Structure 1
Amino acid sequence: MTRTTQYHAVPNAPRDPHAERLIAHRGHDRIESARSVAVVGGGIAGLAAATGLAERGVDVTIFESAPQLGGRVRSWPLGDGRNMSRGFHAFFRQYYNLRALLRRTDPALDRLVAVTDYPLQTNTGLTDSFESIPRTPPLNLAAFVLQSPTFPLAGLAKVDLPSAFELIDLQFPQSLSLYDGESAAAFLDRLRFPHDARHLALEVFARSFFADPHDFAARELVTMFHTYFTGSAEGLLFDVPVDDFNTSLWDPLGDYLRDASVTIHLDSPVDALHQTERGWRVSTSVGTEPFDAVVLAADPRTSRGLIAALGGETQQLVDLQARAARRTNAPAFAVLRLWMSDTVRPDRPAFLGTSGYQLLDNISVLERFEATAAAWTQTHNGSVLELHAYAVDAPADPNSLQGQAIRAALLADMRTVFPETHDMEILAEECLLEDDCSLADVSPWQDHPEVTTGINGLVLAGDWIRAPLPVALMERAATTGLLAANELLAGWNVTGHDLFSPPRRGLLRRSALGRAVRNIVQANGAR
């Protein structure tokens, strides 16, 4: 049987003394005259917006197209003691606003457990570990360079120091436009990190956005390096839910919202939005309902479609439609979940990031942390493995020739990384190929839609929406959802919700010594 993974207690407050609190508008404690808001999308962004509004007395209705809440971080039962999701998600300690949202139903975050390490392995066998690296910058960076087998000290001489100093010289959001037009690959080329360190320490961030580094924005790469490594003292370790996403997170939050009188419509895609003289009308397959305002928090493709179909000719609408139309989705990603006839070796990590294989980007041993998978393992004596590949070819039916080729490549990679699986039978499997995540491309940062639209009663939220803070992925979804709620509440003179952010200034901007070093570096060619 599998060993028990060792976990640490999940922290309840920001550890980083430089984490920043953003004070929201102050006004009435609750709405004074009845207001109704439609939240289009029941993912993280929509749930955050609905929570922020409902807690101030706003009448909220959520329209979610799927049978479950959670959006692209949802899970669903398969009916035979197994479940499925869209793939592993890490809940980093820097996700302050998402974690605050989860505390509505889990004050101590008992439904999250801390993974003690997640090694990153190249196809050459080199492995980086973060377990023993201190969390506080710059000690973490120095320790990584000294301990990493992917970063020989001789490689330091080749690193372009002005480019490297950019990673500790950020100011949000002012620095972001400096990288307009530059890809992550181009930035990595001029940084000149050693080859293996480049793959494990930096490209992993690009691929976690489902993007090829040549298409992925350099500003997102340097933001994530700041957020997780050089700018924050929260460290690189993360937490995971103790069971599937909906059991652990979204079903309890849905109950909390229903208790707050939020109406939740599942299996209810929105067909169209219509602005009226008095507000908005939201159309679904069962009819049209009036609202005072709309939070558009659907997936990127759906949101772009609803924006494109908005009627009107105001300059604000024309500008919004043009900016939304210039956004595209990232390449497809693949998730292959396997129920095996035997367990993998007990020394296998619960989560392993990989680089340099045919398609495999990470592999999870789900029974190490997910209760439903652990129960299946207890009954069947086999591991539940999840293989994840980012930026694969165009989406396809998993049963098509293209889908079967992706499956075959992932299985071959798994058997290379975990050789003991060669002799195991696959008792059951589920495969997903999806392409519904937005591409964080190299186009100008200011061109990306933001929470405010300039259109009365319409705000946007989601991980594809521009935020002025060093946040991304699930935390950007939660943050923009709360920012959307705060925008509407401020318009009604109601107190909003304070937010937290990782430090918005890099190390070189936090002290007199750092600023002196910064001046010297700038004199030698840094941005």
Structure 2
Amino acid sequence: MSIEGTDRRRQKLPGHPGRGAAAGNGQRPRVVVVGAGIAGLAAATGLAERGVAVDVVEQCDHLGGRVGGWPEELADGSSSAMNRGFHAFFRQYYNLRALLRRADPTLSALTPVEDYPLIDGAGRRDTFKGLPQTPPLNALAFALRSPTFRLRDLIRLDAKAAAPLAAVSVPETYRLLDDRDAATFLRDINFPDAARHLAFEVFARSFFARPEKLSAGELVTMFHIYFLGSSEGLIFDVANANFDVALWNPLRAYLENLGVAFHTGRTVESVSVVDEDVVVTTGAGRFPADAAVLAPDVGGLRRIVAASPDLADSAWRDRIAALGTAPPFVVLRLWLDRPVRGDRAAFVGTGGREPLDNVSVLERYEREAAEWAARTGGSVVELHAYSVTHPSDEVRTGLIARMHELYPETTSASIVDERLLRREDCPRFAPGDFAGRPTVRTPDPRIMLAGDGIRVDLPVALMERAATTGWTAANELLGRFGLAGHPLQTVPNRGRSALLRRLATTAGHGSRQE
């Protein structure tokens, strides 16, 4: 597996200059990081590596946030693993992978997934296997070999309206498209319905939203990151053990060796400024520091800021209060008493099969599931439903029915054990949200924000946005302390075709004149 990125056009952002480490004479700055998800861990890493004293406060008893994992005891008395569901580690997640390499230099905890088919309600199947990596040949090859996309569909596309797909520049793309929803944008460019349901809705559902509730700017930026803006390819890696074992326990050991103190199981109640100190208050005590990085989920950030009346100014506090969350999602993990067919892919995305959005066969890649399957002769299957509106028991019934439909061999299988998680804590990316989204910097230079719901004007999304904002928050504080920053990388922050960029600019001017 390639450790470094292979795209020669990727954007490299050097860290700012400064001292390599904080003084060790009792003058070390101290920072409290609230939240031990990807963003908080990236911030803690960036600070600790420059000699800053760091306390990480996390309300859960494990690290990783929404990518956390924990051990689970099953009904048969055996030990297994549980997490909040499948996550894809794409090769263009440069800043996330840089974080993981701190404890795992060769990324041995990640395993490539050879393919991830997409299957629609009519049984039509798309695949990413064997596609060329060079844009725009990758997207063109995908479209032309797709059973839901024909040459005549390509000819019918409104080239001028579709030009922003190949001419992304952040934040300009959001200024151009954020007030529109993704479904309307796809309809306006004459994108065929069948292909839209199978291909683009997969990206929309990555944000736990239906296309009509997702910003067109967000969708187009995603298309740039994975298709037309990067030559890293479309095949991703997965963690080959539960997230705690594969990723976060090793990173925790690395950070503790740097002096980072973790305080898990503690809920932050408020943040205040007392004289020269930033004070983070929990039910179990107070953490005074020189600065803080707030990296909880959206609900946690809203709650903390609402309970911290002297934090920043009213306009900023209003922006935090206005942050929304995406609709609920459900993860259903099933331990079955017999195996699924041997040719089933590790991961399959679906369209037109509500409530099901994807299926994972965990023993194909996760060590704990593979050990359980080998011992029992069964399978561990995970079913996801995004943007759900029905009660959990109805969603569960629908998910199992869809599993039987897609994988008929599971119809006769008994469920040995199961876990159903329903959560509503992912950030919302609705039309019009971008302009008001808070940035890493706050009105108080001692307080920084980080997380996948925080604005950073770079072409990043999902886990990579969390990691990028975490590194950025660390860099901002390191600059304040006179310490050197860390370099960042992203896919190119511009379309790769000069002709299409010009066409997109013309289209943008035209839309503003209407």
- Which category describes the TM-score, using the shorter chain as reference length? over 0.9
Q: Distance in 2 between matches of 1:444 and 1:406?
A: 29
1:237-256 matches, cutoff 5 A: 237-256=235-254
Q: Tell me, yes or no, if structure 1 residue 284 matches structure 2 residue 266.
A: no
Shift of 1:524: 8.4
The correspondence for 1:105, drawn from 103, 106, 110, is: 103
The equivalent residue for 1:217 is 215
Contact persistence 1:162–1:526 (CA under 8 A): no
Q: Distance in 1 between matches of 2:460 and 2:103?
A: 23
Q: Distance in 2 between matches of 1:309 and 1:200?
A: 43
Per-residue displacement from partner, 1:79-118 (whole Å, max 9, x unpaired)? 3221111010000011000000000011111110100100
The equivalent residue for 1:55 is 49
Shift of 1:19: 0.4
Shift of 1:508: 2.5
Q: Tell me, yes or no, if structure 1 residue 507 matches structure 2 residue 505.
A: no
Contact persistence 2:277–2:290 (CA under 8 A): yes
Q: Distance in 1 between matches of 2:419 and 2:184?
A: 36
Q: Distance in 2 between matches of 1:302 and 1:524?
A: 41
Q: Tell me, yes or no, if structure 1 residue 120 matches structure 2 residue 118.
A: yes
The amino acid across from 1:30 in the alignment is A
Shift of 1:525: 7.2
Contact persistence 2:269–2:307 (CA under 8 A): no
Shift of 1:144: 1.3
The equivalent residue for 2:350 is 354
Q: Distance in 1 between matches of 2:386 and 2:20?
A: 44
The equivalent residue for 1:139 is 137
Matched length: 506
Per-residue displacement from partner, 1:361-392 (whole Å, max 9, x unpaired)? 00000000000000000000001000001100
CA 1:520 to 1:42, structure 2 compared with 1: closer, same or farther past 3 Å? closer
Contact persistence 2:176–2:508 (CA under 8 A): no
Contact persistence 1:162–1:522 (CA under 8 A): no
Q: Secondary structure at the match of 1:214?
A: helix
The equivalent residue for 1:25 is 16
The correspondence for 1:429, drawn from 401, 418, 433, is: 418
Q: Secondary structure at the match of 1:82?
A: strand
Q: Distance in 1 between matches of 2:310 and 2:272?
A: 10
Contact persistence 1:162–1:525 (CA under 8 A): no
Q: Distance in 2 between matches of 1:178 and 1:187?
A: 12
1:451-470 matches, cutoff 5 A: 451-470=440-459
Contact persistence 2:169–2:494 (CA under 8 A): yes
Q: Distance in 2 between matches of 1:249 and 1:460?
A: 23
Q: Distance in 1 between matches of 2:134 and 2:512?
A: 24
Shift of 1:492: 1.2
The amino acid across from 2:40 in the alignment is G
The amino acid across from 1:393 in the alignment is T
Q: Distance in 2 between matches of 1:457 and 1:519?
A: 38
The equivalent residue for 2:67 is 73
1:31-50 matches, cutoff 5 A: 31-32=22-23, 33-50=27-44
Shift of 1:156: 2.1
Q: Distance in 2 between matches of 1:369 and 1:363?
A: 13
The equivalent residue for 1:399 is none
CA 1:14 to 1:152, structure 2 compared with 1: closer, same or farther past 3 Å? same
Shift of 1:517: 6.1
Per-residue displacement from partner, 1:158-183 (whole Å, max 9, x unpaired)? 32211221100111222221113211
The equivalent residue for 2:265 is 267
CA 1:516 to 1:195, structure 2 compared with 1: closer, same or farther past 3 Å? closer
Return 5+ residue gaps in structure 1 as ranges. 1-9, 395-401
Contact persistence 2:330–2:384 (CA under 8 A): yes
Shift of 1:520: 7.8
Q: Distance in 1 between matches of 2:406 and 2:444?
A: 52
Contact persistence 2:449–2:473 (CA under 8 A): yes
The equivalent residue for 1:330 is 326
CA 1:515 to 1:281, structure 2 compared with 1: closer, same or farther past 3 Å? closer
The equivalent residue for 2:362 is 366
CA 1:520 to 1:183, structure 2 compared with 1: closer, same or farther past 3 Å? closer
Q: Secondary structure at the match of 1:273?
A: strand
Shift of 1:145: 2.0
Q: Distance in 1 between matches of 2:392 and 2:503?
A: 52
Contact persistence 1:344–1:421 (CA under 8 A): yes
Q: Secondary structure at the match of 1:192?
A: coil
Q: Distance in 1 between matches of 2:168 and 2:404?
A: 41
Q: Secondary structure at the match of 2:411?
A: helix
Shift of 1:45: 0.3
Q: Distance in 2 between matches of 1:111 and 1:160?
A: 43
Q: Tell me, yes or no, if structure 1 residue 498 matches structure 2 residue 492.
A: no
Contact persistence 1:76–1:246 (CA under 8 A): yes
The correspondence for 1:440, drawn from 413, 420, 429, is: 429
Q: Distance in 1 between matches of 2:315 and 2:53?
A: 30
Q: Distance in 2 between matches of 1:159 and 1:64?
A: 48
Q: Tell me, yes or no, if structure 1 residue 476 matches structure 2 residue 472.
A: no
Q: Distance in 2 between matches of 1:426 and 1:17?
A: 48
Shift of 1:142: 1.6
CA 1:517 to 1:367, structure 2 compared with 1: closer, same or farther past 3 Å? same
The correspondence for 1:64, drawn from 55, 58, 82, is: 58
The equivalent residue for 2:375 is 379
The equivalent residue for 2:3 is 12
Q: Distance in 2 between matches of 1:24 and 1:167?
A: 30
The amino acid across from 2:21 in the alignment is R
The correspondence for 2:475, drawn from 486, 505, 511, is: 486
Q: Distance in 1 between matches of 2:422 and 2:501?
A: 47
Shift of 1:516: 6.3
State the TM-score, normalized to the length of structure 2.
Answer: 0.95
Return 5+ residue gaps in structure 2 as ranges. none
Q: Distance in 2 between matches of 1:367 and 1:180?
A: 40
CA 1:286 to 1:164, structure 2 compared with 1: closer, same or farther past 3 Å? same
Shift of 1:518: 5.9
Per-residue displacement from partner, 1:400-453 (whole Å, max 9, x unpaired)? xx2211100000111111111111111110100000111111125221000000
Per-residue displacement from partner, 1:50-107 (whole Å, max 9, x unpaired)? 0000000000000011110011100111132211110100000110000000000111
